[in-house]
């Protein structure tokens, strides 16, 4: 297996790129069906089937990306090179790091779902009374909104709890949750080795909140901006929170490489054992 991976070091990377490119093309193609004038009675069934196909291809793309990342990481670990990407792969390969990653990924994903409106809880609204929904039930809404926002999956779990899955939010949730989990796994190892974390100032903690948890930062600001200045600033906050999430992705991509330098021996090898 190691020999096979050594001969094909770019297979994992190619799968990752293919997955993301497919998602981008999928969004662009489906955006062409968001003209309300196209939603004629004869076209509804066709667009509905296309909406189902959208999510099937999206799931397959996520699967390709996940498998590509696993293969890429394994190749880095087994070849034991001395670049920073290999240090990151080795650091996050052991059981402790995987547990930290998994817990962070799930917890942050749930929090992201709550803040972004994917997981809906409305105690003051009865879904069956106000929306005429059967409990439990669900459906795919194929039209009409901006590219990336359709098709939506709407699921009524109970009278007050439901899911509103928007494609762009789903993609952002998975990407950001993965990166936050990756950063958490590396940070714990870096902290264990350096033992410098105890000296972090309050300013450093707040900066970490904005970088590692942009959704938390948006919610934190909403307590002050939304309450003090009313609806207008609350609407502006939604765009601000999207901005936090957008800028967090490149930051979350760069941060592991910065932390990996602390986990590197003078000869370029990793201080952490992959086992």
- Per-residue pLDDT of 48-95, as tens digits, reads 899 999 999 999 999 999 999 999 999 888 887 878 888 888 888 888
pLDDT of residue 62: 96
Q: Is residue 173 part of a domain?
A: yes
pLDDT of residue 90: 87
Contact between residue 218 and residue 209 where contact means Cβ atoms under 8 Å apart = no
pLDDT classification of 233: cutoffs 50, 70, 90: very low
Assign 5 to helix, strand or coil. helix
Average the pLDDT over 200-227 and give the result: 43
State the burial class of residue 144 (Cβ atoms within 10 Å of its Cβ: 0-12, 13-18, 19+). middle
What range does the domain containing 248 cover? 167-275
pLDDT of residue 235: 43
Interaxial angle between packed helices 41-79 and 167-194, expressed in degrees from 0 to 180 and rounded to the nearest 10: 20
How far is Cα 247 from Cα 107, in angstroms, rounded to an integer?
Answer: 21
Assign 270 to helix, strand or coil. strand
Contact between residue 75 and residue 43 where contact means Cβ atoms under 8 Å apart = no
Q: Decide if pLDDT at 242 tops 80.
A: no
Q: Is residue 265 part of a domain?
A: yes
pLDDT of residue 212: 45
Number of domain units in the chain: 1
How far is Cα 274 from Cα 210, in angstroms, rounded to an integer?
Answer: 30
Q: What's the mean pLDDT when you consider all of the chain?
A: 77
Of 56-70, 73-87, 154-168, 191-205, the poorest mean pLDDT is in 191-205
Contact between residue 181 and residue 104 where contact means Cβ atoms under 8 Å apart = yes
Q: Is residue 105 part of a domain?
A: no
Q: Is residue 221 part of a domain?
A: yes
Q: Is residue 74 part of a domain?
A: no
Q: Is residue 230 part of a domain?
A: yes
Q: Is residue 219 part of a domain?
A: yes
Phi, psi of 42 (to 5 degrees): -75, -20
Q: Is residue 270 part of a domain?
A: yes
Rounded percentage of the chain residues whose pLDDT exceeds 90: 19
């Amino acid at each position: 297996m190691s020999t096979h991976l050594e001969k094909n070091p770019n297979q994992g990377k190619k799968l990752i790129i293919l997955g993301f490119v497919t998602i981008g093309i999928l969004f662009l193609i489906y955006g062409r069906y968001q003209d309300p004038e196209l939603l004629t009675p004869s076209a509804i069934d066709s667009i509905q089937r296309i909406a189902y196909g959208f999510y099937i291809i999206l799931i397959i793309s996520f699967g390709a990306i996940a498998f590509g990342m696993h293969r890429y990481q394994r190749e880095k670990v087994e070849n034991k090179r001395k670049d920073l990407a290999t240090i990151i792969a080795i650091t996050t390969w052991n059981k402790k790091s995987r547990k930290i990653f998994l817990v962070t990924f799930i917890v942050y994903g749930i929090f992201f779902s709550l803040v972004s409106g994917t997981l809906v809880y409305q105690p003051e609204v009865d879904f069956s009374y106000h929306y005429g929904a059967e409990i439990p039930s669900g459906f795919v809404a194929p039209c009409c909104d901006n590219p990336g926002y359709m098709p939506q999956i709407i699921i009524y779990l109970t009278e007050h709890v439901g899911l509103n899955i928007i494609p762009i939010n789903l993609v952002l949730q998975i990407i950001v949750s993965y990166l936050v989990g990756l950063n958490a796994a590396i940070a714990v190892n870096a902290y264990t080795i350096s033992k410098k974390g105890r000296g972090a100032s309050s300013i450093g903690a707040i900066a970490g909140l904005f970088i590692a948890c942009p959704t938390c930062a948006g919610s934190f600001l909403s307590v002050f901006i939304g309450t003090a200045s009313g609806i207008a600033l609350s609407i502006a906050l939604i765009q601000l929170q999207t901005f936090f999430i957008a800028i967090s992705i490149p930051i979350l991509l760069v941060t592991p490489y910065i932390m990996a330098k602390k986990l590197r021996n003078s000869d370029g090898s990793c201080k952490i054992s992959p086992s």
